[in-house]
A and B are shown apart, each in its own frame.
Chain A
């Protein structure tokens, strides 16, 4: 699992430094203008300009002055309770039965000899739950209100003092409550399935003559080797993503339960910069293949990747500093293919006056290279002079801030890395808590689907509302395309430039040449404005790929509070947006038409 830098932004970094707040504000402005214009055009066609304007203004005023203040909790709860009763009496709990069946027969299609069984099990339950709950939210939310309108039950609702805000809130709350109940049931079953599925132990066998090492029995298609220290305590090697604690009790060697497979590592990430072969800062090299994700440094030169870490706390670590690397190699010549490309890691203070010794490493492609260094008695250099008694948190990172530099040792070979490819492992948090956070993430996705489903159901029939909601989900997957056009990564310009290029048969890779610089500049300015509007509007569509966090749980990485808070904020944003849109549709819809 590789994280992108945006996944470990803190909440406030995302909100302020990465302009989420400004983007949200822009979205509100663009949607408000768009909504007002569309509303005004419709009202103008129906009532003429003056009356039309008054009607739209009255509608907006009523939302804030009348309907929101008059919204009654009792009515909202009544509608929510009704939605819950409706769902339960229409046998929505069948979903749980389907899930039970899926788990019962999971053994048929989950590979029992998988390299990382825990990861496989967790991915399976999270993905299955995610799809089932989203589908549930989709069907619940899209069919209920159109059903009431079709059966005319809505007549007896809207002729009571029920506000459009209450209809939306009640439905969303009710369906969310049903979804939450089902998610709790599925989550509990999933947790038991995973924990029981990976839980096992071994017996010690083939013990050496000195009784300090041996091999375990075969269980769940694997064995371990183990060694014991003088105190009779030890550990097995890591196989299938876990190990076991081994202890000698009397004459007997006892192998404990699994460790390391169900956990939540807490990674601490830093920011990354590069220097070139001349030692000057650059953006890292693009070796011209793979993705844009990693940048490369050249071997046997001053080219380096430098991470800056801030605020590491000594209390988060024991006697060792644990760090993981997922560095890639790019070979310009085959060389000794058996020997991996090598590099070195240097820890140094921010001012560069104190450095650790060089820690060599060989690239482990497609694996997490777990490493650790002792925090006390480190060898290194102080102002260029060799020393052998450095204290990491006293000499290199006195205030928790320091740098890590990686260089490639092999001439004409390259090492590739991104910000997330080197991180420190502080504590390990309990797996169950990370599992719950994974389910909170699924819950947020479900709520977003319900909000959109209810919104579409205020003006579309059930099946069409489903298609519209699914279309929104699919469209959200292509939000990156708009981003790429705005950033200029996709060539060919914006909508007007592209439109001009077609008749004049101008290739997208060339500069637009109309023979008039002013015209070209004007087109680009208009295009840019249009694209910013489109980009802003594309934020109105949820990206469920970005909202998915199953990998965090499956790969045993702590799901950051910052990321979850962001997703919660996004969910609240969609809730407000769909609520306001639903309000206007409900308010202007003739229920008996």
Chain B
């Protein structure tokens, strides 16, 4: 699999209305009890757009309204106020589902089926002919790496394998719009990286992706735009790169500087009335370290020399 690349902006379309895949207008949801009494105001007047070809992230802590938003978009819930449109159709319109793929938070699949049967079943739900189903099943099983477990019932699958088959079922219809709810949950670091690479590849193929996660690193790695929700309210919406940019801080990366040069840089900053915040050697991420070790181990099996 290819390594993670930085989010690109080339495929993100403009705000042309014809390029809007999802649009919510004043979308709100109040959960009520049996007697109709208000239990919780899960979502308040949400206005967002997901544009064609982008990876849109929904961020927020537990209970912030991310899943509620996704369920409203998919027609699994009905709005208390406002409306949600997908492909220009009301979110409750079944016909829109022809062009959507959905990976739920946990892979809610029939445990008594095996991988092939699962994909065949979901293929039938898209009214796909047998030959197309067979072909897609084969492709997807290869893509998610479940060749050896294709005939095993899902109840025997590990959590990571279940996520993979869950993703495969979401892709069975080659959807234009993919909704991924916590796609990296339950995956090991390699699986997480593969999932992120796959998401980027799908975006590069022209698919639009709505990603809901509280794994901030995942969102930062793959999303073009994000909406941050808290207590059912939209707190921030915009491009990841511009949201994360700290405007009044300058960052310089250089290699091979001696102490004298470093001191000169510090002096220069002082002379320019700037404030030296930090100058040190960068550290890699734990994810990068782990992946390096695994890659190295694949190439040269045996005990690795201590780096300590």
Which residues on A are within 8 Å of B, measured CB to CB? 45, 67, 70, 72, 74-75, 77-78, 81-82, 85-86, 89-90, 151-163, 590-593
Contacts A/B (CB < 8 Å), 13 sampled: A67-B94, A78-B125, A155-B74, A156-B108, A156-B122, A156-B169, A158-B75, A159-B97, A160-B97, A161-B95, A590-B76, A590-B78, A592-B71
A159/B121 contact (C-beta < 8 A), A151-B108, A590-B77, A592-B71 known: no
> Which residue of A72, A151, A153, A155 has the most chain B CB atoms within 10 A of its CB atom?
A155
**Smallest beta-carbon distance B15→chain A, Å:** 27
Binds A, one of B52-60, B98-106, B260-268: B98-106
Contact B104–A155 (Cβ < 8 Å): yes
A159 touches B108 (CB 8 A): no
Contact A157 B71 (CB under 8 A): no
B169 neighbours in A (Cβ, 8 Å): 156
Contacts of B187 in A (CB 8 A): none
Q: How far does the Cβ of B150 sit from chain A's closest Cβ, in whole Å?
A: 17
Contact across chains for B124 and A161 when beta carbons are under 8 A apart: no
Chain A nearest Cβ from B86, distance in angstroms: 11
B112 touches A162 (CB 8 A): no
**With contact pairs A86-B110, A152-B108, A156-B122 given, residues A72 and B76 touching in the complex (Cβ less than 8 Å):** no
**A-B residue pairs, 10 tightest by C-beta:** A78-B124, A592-B76, A160-B125, A89-B112, A152-B108, A159-B102, A161-B97, A592-B71, A153-B108, A161-B98
User: For residue A159, which residues in chain B have a CB less than 8 angstroms away from its CB?
Assistant: 74-76, 97, 100, 102
A130 to B108, CA, bound (A): 36
Measured in the bound complex, the distance between the Cα atoms of B104 and A160 in whole Å is 13
A152 and B127 CA atoms in complex are apart in Å by: 22
Q: Mark B82-117, 1 if CB is under 8 A from A, else 0.
A: 000000000000110110101010101110110001
Contact A152 B78 (CB under 8 A): no
Residue of A nearest to B153 (CB): A89
Report Cα–Cα, A585/B245, bound state, in Å: 50
- Determine the chain B residues whose CB is within 8 A of the CB of A153 once the complex forms: 108-110
State how many angstroms separate the Cβ of B159 from the closest Cβ of chain A. 16
Contact of B126 with A by CB under 8 A:
yes
* Chain B residue contacts of A82, Cβ below 8 A: 110, 113, 121
Interfacial chain A residues near B126, Cβ < 8 Å: 160-161
Q: Decide if B121 touches A75 in the complex (CB within 8 Å).
A: no
Q: Complex Cα distance A592/B109, Å?
A: 15
Q: Contact check, A162 vs B125: say whether CB atoms are below 8 A apart.
A: yes
Q: Which of B77, B94, B124, B173 has the most CB of A within 10 A?
A: B94
Given known A86-B110, A162-B94, contact A155–B124 (CB-CB < 8 A)? no
Interface centre among A90, A151, A162, A590 (most CB of B within 10 A): A590
Q: Which residues of B contact A151 (CB under 8 A)?
A: 108
- A156 to B76, Cβ gap below 8 A? no
Query: Closest residue to A590 on the B side, CB-wise?
Result: B77
A591 to B104, CA, bound (A): 13
Q: In whole angstroms, what is the CA distance A156 to B104 when docked?
A: 8
CA distance A153 to B97 in the complex (A): 16
Report whether B76 and A155 are in contact in the complex, using a CB–CB cutoff of 8 Å. Answer: yes
Q: Which residues of B sit under 8 angstroms from A74, Cβ to Cβ?
A: 124, 127
Interface string of B42-57 (1 = CB under 8 A from A): 0000000000000000
Contacts of A591 on B, CB cut-off 8 Å?
76
Contacts A155-B76, A156-B122 given; indicate if A75 touches B127 (C-beta within 8 A): yes
Bound-state Cα–Cα, A77 to B75, Å: 24
Give 20 A-B pairs besides A70-B95, A154-B108, A155-B74 with Cβ atoms closer than 8 angstroms.
A74-B124, A75-B125, A77-B124, A78-B124, A85-B112, A85-B113, A86-B112, A90-B112, A152-B104, A152-B106, A155-B102, A156-B104, A156-B169, A161-B94, A161-B98, A161-B126, A163-B94, A590-B78, A591-B76, A592-B71
